[in-house]
Structure 1
Amino acid sequence: MSRTRAVLSTREQITDRLREDVFAGRLPTGERVSEATLAERFGVSRGPIREALSQLTSEGLFVAKQNCGVTVAPPAPEPIRELVLPIRRTIEVYALKQIFAGLTPDDFRHWDDLLFQMERAGRQKEWELLPHLDLAFHRHLLERADSPDLLAIWQTIVTRMRAHFWDTVRAHAARDDLARLHGHHVELLAAFRRGPKAAAVRALEQHIDEN
């Protein structure tokens, strides 16, 4: 069963919310995060907060330093982003090949819902939501592949590439064509629906290289 269709634990929900906050810029680089403050915000004990921060630190989204607490890590510099982009492409293509024959109406409904949210965010100029929605679209491939190791590797890579996703949104915003960012994903999903697998793989490779 896909993780997105399962009930998320408290720790998973908090992890997802904090990850979204960083990608949306609500938690900027260098921001210090407090277990006590987060526990109050989410209405939980410090245990799930500590577990969530530990996971996000292992992904590279946060940095823990002795006597300094936990802070939001800076994104990777451009040369590193260029280095890991082919790795991201390889992982997503591998996942798509593994799951393509087993894609279900539930999968397409999930992607359709994300595209609806992406279109609405672009129309309402809620730019901070777009990097998160972009990643959520691609993350579903890894979740459906049902390989925790593969998902962990992919998550670490895209975490370090988060500046790339913001750069993409800014570029579209500067040209006043945020709708095109949504359109790129509409085209990709259409390729998944049409098939065959080889064509869907080519569409995914092109999408990652061009976006």
Structure 2
Amino acid sequence: MATSRGVLSTREQITDRLREDVFAGRLPAGERVSEAALADRFGVSRGPIREALSQLTSEGLFVTKQNCGVTVAPPAPEPIRDLILPIRRTLEVYAFKQIFDALGPDDFRFWDDVLFRMERACRQREWQLLPQLDLEFHRYVLEKAGSPDLFAIWQTIVTRLRAHFWETVREHDARNDLLRLHGHHAELLAAFRKGPKAAAVKALEQHIDEN
């Protein structure tokens, strides 16, 4: 699998898939995960599974407890989320400033595709897909920046914010305005396209603060 991070190893692909499962709610907090079952699912030995679980545990997405094995960690409590949201904004804004001048047609095609899938999910009320699509939109900024350290820090931050993404989706769903989630990202992408850099950065900061 090729991404902005290059061709991903088997371990990286499994790590990404499991992370997506947690954000989509397919692996809820407290659920125990089995190395053997995951090895069967992905058709690999336990080695890459163990490495993926170790990576996700270091990010805070899984926890290991004696006599309980590996389970999905609960999301960060609200006071912690309030503390780390500004850190997420700082990281994304820094990365975006690094890439803005190099943005081209391929980048906007990627974001357009994410928005297409996001709009479809909103219209079909496939709300379980929306947190991951939201992250996919923003993750691209970090991937394109090309700094493994920056990406790793950002990834660790957003895994602890997954409750924030779920709450945002649920609030919009309760008001029957899921399409506003798509609208927020469409407005942000329009700011990226239009520029100038300072205005695009301001739009990104406002988007993160308000969403």
TM-score, with length taken from structure 2:
0.97
Deviation at 1:71, TM superposition (A): 0.5
Correspondence for 1:76: 76
Segments of 5+ residues of structure 1 without an aligned counterpart are none
Distance 1:68 1:5, change over 3 A: closer
Quick check: 1:104 aligned with 2:104? yes
Correspondence for 2:30: 30
RMSD over aligned Cα, in angstroms?
1.2
Correspondence for 1:59: 59
Give the share of equivalent positions with the same residue, in percent. 82
Segments of 5+ residues of structure 2 without an aligned counterpart are none
Correspondence for 2:86: 86
Correspondence for 1:148: 148
Distance 1:165 1:125, change over 3 A: same
Distance 2:121 2:20 in 1: 15
- Between stretches 71-80 and 58-67, larger displacement belongs to 58-67
Equivalent residue runs for 1:187-206 within 5 Å: 187-206=187-206
Quick check: 1:125 aligned with 2:125? yes
Distance 2:146 2:3 in 1: 8
Deviation at 1:124, TM superposition (A): 0.9
Deviation at 1:140, TM superposition (A): 0.6
Contact 1:32 1:71 in 2 (8 A): yes
**Corresponding letter in the other structure for 2:7:** V
**Corresponding letter in the other structure for 2:39:** A
Distance 2:12 2:116 in 1: 24
Distance 2:115 2:7 in 1: 22
Q: How many residues align?
A: 210
Distance 1:166 1:188 in 2: 20
Distance 1:9 1:103 in 2: 26
Deviation at 1:5, TM superposition (A): 7.0
Quick check: 1:159 aligned with 2:159? yes
Contact 2:15 2:56 in 1 (8 A): yes
Aligned residue for 2:64, secondary structure, equals strand
Deviation at 1:11, TM superposition (A): 1.3
Contact 1:3 1:144 in 2 (8 A): no
